[in-house]
Amino acid sequence: MTERKKGKLRRFFMFQSLRLQLLSRSLFILAGLLLLIGVFQYVLMKQFMYQNRAVSLQSQMFSIPDEVWERSIKTPETNSSARPLIFFPGVTIAFINTSGDGGFSVLSKEPHAGPVPKLTKQEYFDALQTDHRLNYKIIKDNRGMEQLIVLQPIEIQPSVSGVVQMSTDTKPLKDVLTRQMIIFLSLSTTALVVGLLTFLPVLRRTLIPLSNMVNKVEQINAGNLDDRLPPHQGQLEIDRLAVAFNGMLKRLEVSFEAEKEAKEQMRRFIADASHELRTPLTSIHGFLEVLLRGAATNPDQLHKALKSMYGESERLNKLVQDLILLAKLDRIPTVQMEEGFLDVVIYEMESQLRLLAGERKVIFSIMPNVKATFDQDKIKQVILNLYHNAVQHTDSKTGIIRVSLEWDSQGILLAVQDNGPGIPKEHVSHLFDRFYRIESSRSRKYGGAGLGLAITKSLIDIHGGTIQVKSKEGEGSIFQIWLPA
């Protein structure tokens, strides 16, 4: 990239700077306001000066006695070489006789003054109606010079009446206005320069929190997601932005951790599923090899091999069914929620549960009329999973399993308790993970793949409930399910 292009880019990014934009826009607004004030000042001052000059001429007109007016009208300035009786510097005085022939007489005029401006007859007749009110006009004479004309009706005698016209050049007034505007423009320019010099350090200091935030965000963008923006910098908007940004960073960090954990769980899930599927397939493959080598001719070996392959196929089928069920629960599960009595559902399962228990002692502590909204098939599966888990982990002779159901205003509590060996503390938090087993060999013995409790938790989540485990080694375990009433 050439130096010229680099210079253009630098100028472009400088123009995009927030500091420069704030400064330029502020100065633009200030200049606009000063211009507006200047225009209003010029218009109002011009009107005021013209009106004040007209009032001054009218006052001078009223100060002249009637006798002087009478003598001046009889001997106008154009008919006498003597000094006129009425004279004001820079002012031309004329009389328009409206009672007679409507003659126009110049009463007073400076020697080098231009032609006396004349109005139409109608304007002079209209001036007769104004009485003592101020009546002035701004016109241009034959030379194009602007003139201020004051008209005042006057009556000297019953036979002599008309309008006195006093006119003066507005150039001195315009000169005063011009000087005032030059002074105003000078002061405005000085104010803009001072504002520029003052506003730059003020802006720089004001934008320090924002600059700090930009630097901190650049550090965070470099990979330090644990860093946070300071929430208190003395500016409400910046503080709110910092708090919102910190909240976003926290959510991003949690999302990244969740994604990382999800990927790790998926990796473990695939590995565990592959391992679980491979085990029965390997076993079946091994028995088939034995049969192909000649064992098929031996009825006893054939029967054992077929029986073992049947058991492995049943285990494989159950594992696949559990995986399909988990996949359905992870998507949008199909449930049929209906109102019903949980105690009735448990009593319907009592004979089945006692049969599964064998010689173990089973205790039912069921509160009657426990009403809830649930999917009956899913709840039955939850109870069977927990009950089957209790059966697996209790002694076939001395085992005791207790199924309890109670409710209050907060919700419904369903519990399955056993007197098995208990669960070590380090395993409790992982019990509902998929394919998690405390003792791999023991689970293999009972055909478990570590999916039962994961399915149970998913079913409870669908019902809006929670499940937790309380266990002590050597004293047994209790699985408690809370459901909303």
Structure tokens belonging to residue 442:
């023991």
φ, ψ for residue 38, nearest 5 deg: -65, -45
**In 3D, which of 216, 242, 235, 213 has the Cα closest to residue 227?**
216
* Out of 5-19, 156-170, 374-388, least confident range: 5-19
Is 433 in a helix, a strand, or coil? Answer: coil
Q: Is residue 35 part of a domain?
A: no
Question: What local confidence, expressed as pLDDT, does residue 377 receive?
Answer: 84
Domain final residue, candidates 145, 169, 193: 169
Residues 375 and 456 placed together within one structural domain of the fold? yes
Domain final residue, candidates 169, 190, 210: 169
Tell me the per-residue pLDDT of 421-447, one tens digit each, with 9 for 90 and over.
888 888 777 777 766 666 544 444 444
According to DSSP, the residues that pair with 106 across neighbouring strands are: 94
Residues 340 and 470 placed together within one structural domain of the fold? yes
Domain CATH code at residue 139: 3.30.450.20
CB 151 within 8 A of CB 177: no
Is the per-residue pLDDT at 327 higher than 70? no
* Measured distance CA(401)–CA(422) in Å, rounded: 13
Q: Is residue 231 part of a domain?
A: yes
Is 405 in a helix, a strand, or coil? Answer: strand
Tell me the per-residue pLDDT of 286-301, one tens digit each, with 9 for 90 and over.
777 777 777 667 777 7
Is the per-residue pLDDT at 402 higher than 90? yes
Q: Is residue 30 part of a domain?
A: no
* Measured distance CA(225)–CA(398) in Å, rounded: 56
Residue type, 423: I
**In 3D, which of 443, 375, 370, 465 has the Cα closest to residue 408?**
370
Kindly state the helix (H) or strand (E) to which residue 285 belongs, with its residue range.
Answer: helix 236-292
Q: Is residue 435 part of a domain?
A: yes
* Out of 32-36, 119-123, 330-334, 350-354, least confident range: 330-334
Residues 347 and 415 placed together within one structural domain of the fold? yes
Question: What local confidence, expressed as pLDDT, does residue 332 receive?
Answer: 61
Residues 241 and 372 placed together within one structural domain of the fold? no
Q: Sort strands 361-366 and 400-408 into parallel, antiparallel or unpaired.
A: parallel
Question: What local confidence, expressed as pLDDT, does residue 98 receive?
Answer: 75
CB 360 within 8 A of CB 391: yes
* Measured distance CA(114)–CA(129) in Å, rounded: 29
Q: Is residue 320 part of a domain?
A: no
Domain CATH code at residue 417: 3.30.565.10
Domain that residue 369 falls in: 334-483
Domain final residue, candidates 169, 192, 213: 169
Residue type, 55: V
Q: Distance between alpha carbon 236 and the CA centroid of its chain, in Å?
A: 15
Residues 156 and 233 placed together within one structural domain of the fold? no
Q: Is residue 379 part of a domain?
A: yes
Which residues, including other chains, have CB under 8 Å from residue 147's CB and lie 6 or more apart?
A: 117, 138, 139, 140, 141, 167, 168, 169, 170
* Out of 105-109, 134-138, 207-211, least confident range: 207-211
* Measured distance CA(359)–CA(354) in Å, rounded: 9
Residues 271 and 342 placed together within one structural domain of the fold? no
Structure tokens belonging to residue 283:
């076993």
Q: Is residue 87 part of a domain?
A: yes
Residues 355 and 479 placed together within one structural domain of the fold? yes
- Angle between helices 3-15 and 18-62 in degrees, nearest 10: 60
63-68 CB contacts, 8 Å cutoff, 24+ apart: 66/156
**Neighbouring C-beta atoms of residue 70, cutoff 10 Å:** 14
pTM (predicted TM-score): 0.46
CB 353 within 8 A of CB 387: yes
Q: Is residue 257 part of a domain?
A: yes
Tell me the per-residue pLDDT of 118-152, one tens digit each, with 9 for 90 and over.
888 888 888 888 777 888 888 888 788 888 999 98
Work out how many domains the chain is built from and give that number: 3
